[in-house]
Amino acid sequence: MVTESSPPGDISDTAVYIVHSDPAAHYSVKVLEGWSQTTVGSAVRFTDKLNSITLSTQSAATAPTVASARAVTVPQLQQSEPAFTLKDVTALTRHAGPVVLVHYERDSPPNDVTGKVFREDVYRYMFFHAGTELDVVLSGPTGSDNVDPWRIVTDSVAWTK
């Protein structure tokens, strides 16, 4: 019998998802079962080991575009994210409609126990519906293979109004 060995940060293909909904912000999204949940202001963050999913909403007059993300979001990230390195800004479609994806790398916060910092791949999906922007920010160690889990999460976004 061969045992699959995953690099640090890889989310198992057998992971179970549950629906998180925010009635006030009018959205729902699948997140991974068993991950810890914290809320800071209007943002909710789910974490497990080296991975995280952060959901935040804000009022917006118009949908984000690649141009607006490059002009506004990227400069904000350059100022706020440690060791920010832009990888790409693209437009794509998920089940909930068109989205703008800002892909970048950053340094993680130091581990509370060891102080160790590692490089993270970050995927910021910017959704829009009826005057609300929902940012779904997915992060994990650079090189981890979370394409399938991140696709499940982002394809599960649904607007409830």
pLDDT in tens, 69-92: 999 999 999 999 999 999 999 999
* Confidence (pTM): 0.93
Domains in the chain with CATH codes: 34-159 (3.40.1000.10)
Whether residue 111 is predicted with pLDDT greater than 90 in this model: the reply is: no
For 71, residues 6+ apart whose C-beta sits below 8 A from its C-beta are: none
Distance CA(40)–CA(56), nearest Å, equals 10
Look at residue 32 in the predicted model and tell me its pLDDT: 97
Model pLDDT, residue 70: 98
Q: How confident is the model at residue 42 (pLDDT cuts 50, 70, 90)?
A: confident
Angle (CA) 51-53-58 rounded to 5° is 150
pLDDT bracket for residue 7 (50, 70, 90): low
Asked whether the predicted pLDDT for residue 132 surpasses 70, the reply is yes
Averaged over 18-45, what is the pLDDT?
Answer: 95
Whole-number pLDDT of residue 2: 39
pLDDT of the residue at 130: 95
C-beta separation of 30 from 18 below 8 A: yes
Structure confidence at residue 148 as a pLDDT band (50, 70, 90) = very high
Average pLDDT value for the chain: 93
